[in-house]
Structure 1
């Protein structure tokens, strides 16, 4: 694969004089699923999960779809804003430009997003979507980036850069959705065995990131998955209790693992975001956040606008600010903004052991 190096002068300038005043960290490296995908799936020819058509992006710049599963910005965009950075570019877009010689100055030093809609912790989670980039492959791509940057600037300078950068990991929802939709998986594993295996597999990938320079991590748990519009549709519009229960159990095991993982490795600093608590708060207290619709999707078809994905022929709500959910699974731009506000400055109700602002400062 043909990686195009950035100008060495730019690198020397950054490390000699520091990054801009508004910029609080040198880079953000994003791993995850559709909650933070900013366009990688647009480059996957076989994938049927792409946000590259209307009504996606209706509230984004120029009102055009970009690959984000939102009416506008998603959590990755708001993270960039909080940190004074541009949103990390999709990895596959940078590679595509480099291979086509469209850009002789492609740089991974500014951060990059490996996130992919449909991705899971486990390989094969995306089978129902035909193609995505599972977490293992995302970390493989990061390893390629690490090797390339090592050749360009050397181990010492790169480690200095990476030790100050933020590694964002938002994944796990698709694994749980897949489990509860698969009789085969449920026959092979109890729910407890499955969530334990999820966390064990995630730890292996986090360790790979640590071995390749990652030190500061923002890691999100899964939300109230049983309350998303598609699952409500299957349960007479009410949340699916079993799915929510195991979402909570997964988050509990994840938090325990992160604490152990930190003790096992020198220099790890992390902030865990309790997505479940944050989303549940929005659902239980919508008026406090300006929402009026907590069950249905803004874009879709049928009951709760949840009988089909957001498509060009879908119904579209008049006020996206009123809705927590944009489509069958994903939050609106308004909800994503609130989530990022909570994990950036949030109290221990939502963040553990520190919030993202403290993570940056540490």
Structure 2
């Protein structure tokens, strides 16, 4: 009998040790994460936009998500918002429009303090970037929503407690690609602006929105640069399946201006801290050295039809690749979950080749 009791106690001890060890490994590293951006981090806001044509609601989106169903994420599985939250020991921040929907608005357990995702597929820094797709939530409107949320929180929470919470939270901003796509899709924009003038204007507009966030409590920013968008399957079709160099050059110009702007913003706001992630360099690495990261296909979309599987959208009748793990691109524009994981790993604790002036892990420690 004593031996049975001892075995049971030993089992309980081991179980508790494993439970607490796992809990420690997944310990929350920041109070919350507030996400702003485009389809790379939209976790379902566009599903609440009745007129929007930009929705990831059809199979095969979500085929590798835990539910195996479309969730509004433009991915085969989890996207960057999910994977960053995992790194931080947090649940994915819910879409803002789900929290203020008629179903949830009056529920007492809805909390903005747990983190919120404001991102919207098709969104740009400029209003009107998504004219070809109709309805998205541009960055200005996303920050408007945050400001409204902040006003409600100030009515519900003591000022010092709220500011402490927000100052320790992460504000992730993943946007800019659609503004560059918009430039190449608009003869009018090209006539009125040189590429340099345009990216200067885009960065200047972003600066205004970041300052608005700072004025409403944000202190720690994770800013994601624009990737080599000319290498996405859709734009490769413009250049006989090779990367569309004009778009990549513009991405580089924008990223340079963006980094200069962030330094200026820091000079004006001394207690602001940020980590910039060079998605351009990270994607270039994957494309140039795919085998070292476990990838085999750097050009084709996993889900689509036609040349590069990218002449048509990802729909239920699309051809879908068997092994999503070895493809960098999921559809015409978006990375697979596997590719996104490599980016988030570098973003979180990568070297200065990818992150500046610090990485996210170092940002959390401030």
Contact 1:98 1:104 in 2 (8 A): no
- 1:292-303 alignment, distance < 5 Å: 292-303=296-307
TM-superposed deviation, 1:206: 0.1
Normalising by structure 2, report the TM-score: 0.92
Deviation string for 1:198-253 (max 9, x for gaps)? 00000000000000000000001000010000000121000011110110010000
Contact 1:29–1:167 under 8 Å retained in 2: yes
The residue aligned with 2:91 is 86
Extract structure 1 runs of 4+ deviating beyond 3 A.
Answer: 97-101
Contact 1:57 1:72 in 2 (8 A): yes
TM alignment of 1:221-240, pairs within 5 A: 221-240=225-244
Aligned pairs, number: 343
How far apart, in 1, do the equivalents of 2:66 and 2:42 lie?
A: 17
Give a deviation string over 1:39-88, Cα, whole Å, max 9, x none.
00000011101001100000001200000000000000010000000000
Partner of 1:358: 362
**Which consecutive unaligned segments of at least 5 residues does structure 2 have?**
1-23
Q: Distance in 1 between matches of 2:127 and 2:25?
A: 39
Q: Which blocks of at least 5 consecutive residues in structure 1 are unaligned? A: 1-18
Aligned to 1:167: 171
| TM-score when normalising by structure 1 | 0.93
**Deviations 1:253-301, CA, capped at 9 Å, x for gaps:** 0001101110111210000000000001000000011100000100001
- The higher radius of gyration belongs to 2
Tell me the residue number matched to 1:12.
Answer: none
C-alpha contact (below 8 Å) 1:299/1:305 kept by paired residues: yes
- CA–CA separation in structure 1 for the residues paired with 2:31 and 2:84: 13
CA distance in 2, matches of 1:52, 1:66: 6
In the alignment, is residue 68 of structure 1 matched against residue 69 of structure 2?
A: no
Residue 254 of structure 2 aligns with which residue? 250
Residues 170-207 of structure 1: CA deviation (Å, up to 9, x unaligned): 00000000101111110111111000000000000000
Give the distance between the partners of 1:134 and 1:56, measured in 2 at CA: 23
Alpha-carbon distance in 2 for matches of 1:211, 1:322: 43
Q: How does 1:1-362 map to 2 (within 5 A)?
A: 22-97=27-102, 101=106, 103-362=107-366
SS at match of 1:234: helix
CA–CA distance in 2 between the matches of 1:60 and 1:272? 28
